[in-house]
Amino acid sequence: MGPKSILKSSAVPADAVDARKPPVNEQHLQVALQHANIIQDQKNVEQEILNATLELLEFPPDSKADPARPSPSDAHKFKTLVMPFQPNDYDALIEERNCADLCGYALCPRPRKKVPSASKLHFVDSRDRGVQIVPKKMLEVWCSDDCARRALYVKVQLNEEPAWMRRTGGGQEIEILVENTEALEFALPLRLKSKNKVQGELKDEDGEDIAAAWALADEALAELSQERGDKDSMPRTELIKAKIEERTNVKTPSAPSAETTASSAHMAIEGHIPKSDAKKTKDADDDEEDNDWDD
């Protein structure tokens, strides 16, 4: 028989041990659960953004796709994938595509531009900003200026608030630039049709939106030209209308007398005598003549 412990064994039931614990505060429990749900939502959104980035690295599926005229399926999928993005997530996507030697615009399958020069800085002459010094890596982000404009148009629509904190869900609908053969058609965004609509048909609502957008664009351009002072853009109704007429009632000028010139010489300003001073001088001379007769 082994040695017996001198310590007393305390036989305490399990329910008695639980009874000694302080009661759980329901409010604290709800707050902890709320924070846990927020953290879980954040992880889910980050995973969704990561999966979307990986999928957009191999976008578009067709290597001959035209970024100016993407297919409805590619455009719809692209807008759905970038909806939870923030601007910094979109920048990360562009950088990842550049690492794969692709254009930064996800709807463009072309390779990015390569500058042959080994210099890190380049001079770029633009009509809007003049000559600028631009790093070489900034010139190799896109395949063309058109793709840069399309990609940045998408970036400015992204919500800076994290997707897990947005009350309206993932975010607002993203619009893309669709170019036509006209010179200025790319300046207005056109909404793509759904798959069950015929491409030749156009909804009345979309037509009204496009017409209103073009009207606002024309008004903005007219106001901008007017502020710049462009002569062609200024309305003719605001031009000054001047009518030159020749004066008919012109008196023959008379030579000044010697007495008047001598009396008012001290009032002359660079050889010119003001009318008011000349009148006062004449009245003073008349008063002096009257006083002489009185004497």
Contact 180, 187 (CB under 8 A): no
Rounded distance between C-alpha atoms, residue 265 and residue 281, angstroms:
10
Residue 215 clears pLDDT 70, i.e. is over it: yes
Give me the pLDDT at residue 171, please: 63
Q: 55-69 in b/e burial notation, b at 16+ Cβ within 10 A?
A: ebeebbeeeebebbe
Give me the pLDDT at residue 269, please: 76
Give me the pLDDT at residue 66, please: 86
Average per-residue pLDDT in the chain? 71
33 to 28, 39, 42, 46, 75: CA distances (angstroms): 9, 10, 14, 20, 38
- pTM here is 0.50
Q: Does the structural domain 26-174 have CATH classification 1.25.40.820?
A: yes
| Mean pLDDT, residues 231-254 | 64
Closest CA to 223 of 212, 214, 213, 233: 233
Token couple for 65: 């796709």
Residue 190 clears pLDDT 60, i.e. is over it: no
Q: Identify the weakest region by mean pLDDT among 98-107, 162-171, 234-243.
A: 234-243
End-to-end CA distance of the chain: 166
Q: Identify the weakest region by mean pLDDT among 114-128, 178-192, 263-277.
A: 178-192
Domain boundaries, the chain: 26-174, 180-190+207-229
Q: Identify the weakest region by mean pLDDT among 15-19, 30-34, 42-46, 269-273.
A: 15-19
Q: Per-residue pLDDT tens for 70-105?
A: 888 888 889 889 988 889 999 999 989 988 888 889
Percent of the chain scoring above 90 in pLDDT = 4
Whether omega before 60 lies within 30 degrees of 0, making that bond cis, reads yes
Confidence band of 51 (pLDDT split at 50, 70, 90): very high
Contact 51, 86 (CB under 8 A): no
Contact 152, 138 (CB under 8 A): no
Query: Judging by beta carbons within 10 Å of its beta carbon (0-12, 13-18, 19+), is residue 75 exposed, middle or buried?
Result: buried
